[in-house]
């Protein structure tokens, strides 16, 4: 991922330098387990443990010749080991995937922990925003068309719970990707004892793979990426709500606009939802990772490396982009400008059409058939759409023509937006309890 969208902590997790640090750690843990069991000389452990990790530049230089990244790493690290002879026992009984997949599991869990912390923050920000606007009346929309009265906090509450569910999915996926597989070529433990895998897993606070083969089957990693795609899409859902609300014709919501900020190179009046649009665009990047990573599940026999090149691109990019998306979305909600007056004006702009459901039910409960009541209310509503005459007036005329008596006091009571939101109290009790 380009530097523009890479935050420092997540960038470090996926850096070449950190990857080689993890490779050194895994190899050292394996060597310590061998030495503890008496399979290798005990005096080789300390020289290996204290040898500095090789630089990415040195590994790349050697790989130009070896065309094998693990061998290049081992050679470069051996050059840093004093005495160099101690390095002979590094990678003892292992195959490349033992190192690669175990270190990758550490990277995936480290990245997940950063993402979970950001999700905690996003859930809290959405929760607090929903509670702050539990009484901010707005019109609810279906198909983009005014439907019935609602409150802004209701919509945000739905997004808060979606973010919390996304966090729960990712937390579960963390457990499944956090596996250690150190079992040698084709995973038969023929040259390495299973106790080594157990010891390394314990030291890394991970767990041994259920069936350790040469390569960890990519179903769990695919699930992890899918969880990131859902997180990204929930972020996009928040952004889409803001993009709609910031349109000139709606003007109910707007992104924070800082001092000195410019909206357009040509039109000085513009205040564009650039943060929301960036979220929408980058969510596509994360979703694009799902299929390529999933195609790494079926490999030839015990192993091929068709998954390797794909994962070098898509795993870091998905994690880095999701991290940035969560950062953007949290800031978006924190700085969101809500125009309650404009929300109320938009709600009233259709002359009362948003109360047709209540009027329909009132007529049915008064003894009219649903078919007759619907026809009466719809005909009045269509006249309001075309003429702009308030719905209550067109309803009176249509009711009189149909010989239907209206209870004006009752209509006054039911045609109030506050009436629609009174039942949302239990929802906001659940929102308040969301952590």
Enzyme catalytic residues = 143, 264
Give the integer Cα–Cα distance in Å for 327 and 14.
18
């Amino acid at each position: 991922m380009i530097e523009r969208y890479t935050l420092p902590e997540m960038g470090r997790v996926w850096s070449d330098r950190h990857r080689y640090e993890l490779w050194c750690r895994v190899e050292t843990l394996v060597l310590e387990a061998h030495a503890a069991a008496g399979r290798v000389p005990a005096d080789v452990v300390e020289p290996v443990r204290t040898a500095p990790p090789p630089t990415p530049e040195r590994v790349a230089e050697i790989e130009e010749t070896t065309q094998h990244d693990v061998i290049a790493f081992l050679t470069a690290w051996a050059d840093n080991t004093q005495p160099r002879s101690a390095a002979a026992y590094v990678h003892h009984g292992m195959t490349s995937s033992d190192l690669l997949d175990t270190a990758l599991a550490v990277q995936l869990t480290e990245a997940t922990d950063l993402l979970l912390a950001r999700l905690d923050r996003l859930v809290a920000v959405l929760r607090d925003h929903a509670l702050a606007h539990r009484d901010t009346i707005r019109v609810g929309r279906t198909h983009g068309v005014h439907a019935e009265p609602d409150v802004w906090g209701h919509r945000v509450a739905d997004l808060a719970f979606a973010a919390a569910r996304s966090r729960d999915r990712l937390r579960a996926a963390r457990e499944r990707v956090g596996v250690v597989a150190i079992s040698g070529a084709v995973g038969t433990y023929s040259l390495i004892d299973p106790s080594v895998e157990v010891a390394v897993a314990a030291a890394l606070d991970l767990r041994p793979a259920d069936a350790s083969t040469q390569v960890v089957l990519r179903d769990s990693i695919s699930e992890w990426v899918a969880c990131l795609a859902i997180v990204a899409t929930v972020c996009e859902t928040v952004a889409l709500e803001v993009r709609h609300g910031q349109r000139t014709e709606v003007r109910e919501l707007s992104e924070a606009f800082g001092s000195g900020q410019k909206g357009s190179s040509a039109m000085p009046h513009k205040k564009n939802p650039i943060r929301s649009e960036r979220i929408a665009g980058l969510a596509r990047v994360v979703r694009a990772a799902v299929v390529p990573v999933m195609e790494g599940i079926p490999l030839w026999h015990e192993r091929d490396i068709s998954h390797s090149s794909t994962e070098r691109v898509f795993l870091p990019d998905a994690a880095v982009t999701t991290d940035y998306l969560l950062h953007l979305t949290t800031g978006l909600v924190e700085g969101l400008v809500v125009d309650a007056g404009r929300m109320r004006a938009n709600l009233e702009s259709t002359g009362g059409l948003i109360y047709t459901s209540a009027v329909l039910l009132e007529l049915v409960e008064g003894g009219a058939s649903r078919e007759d009541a619907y026809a009466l209310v719809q005909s009045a509503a269509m006249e309001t759409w075309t003429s702009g005459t308030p719905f209550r007036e067109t309803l009176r005329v249509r009711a009189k023509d149909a010989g239907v008596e209206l209870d004006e006091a009752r209509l006054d009571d039911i045609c109030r937006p506050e009436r629609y939101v009174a039942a949302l109290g239990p929802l906001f009790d659940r929102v308040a309890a969301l952590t």
